[in-house]
Amino acid sequence: MSPSWRKPAGMIVILLLIGVWCAVIVSFSSIVGAWHPAAQLVFYVVTGIIWITPLKPLLRWMETGRWR
């Protein structure tokens, strides 16, 4: 059984997703930095969890070749 090209491609997409998401969140740092520390904590926890949402279909595609 030969390795699938989907796994390396999926890993690259995951790394790009993380990089883009980090750049987007960091672009808000000047605004978020002025907030109360508790509000900052909530913001960073929520945004730290949100990026995981598109991973399930991507990981499914990497394993099976289907999005659904």
Q: In this predicted model, what pLDDT tens digit does every residue of 47-64 receive, in sequence order?
A: 999 988 888 889 888 888
> Does 5 have pLDDT greater than 90?
no
Measured distance CA(26)–CA(58) in Å, rounded: 24
Tokens (6 digits) for 51 = 């990026």
> In terms of DSSP H, where are the helices of 1-68?
6-27, 29-32, 37-50, 55-64
pTM: 0.77
Locate the domains of the chain by residue range. 7-53
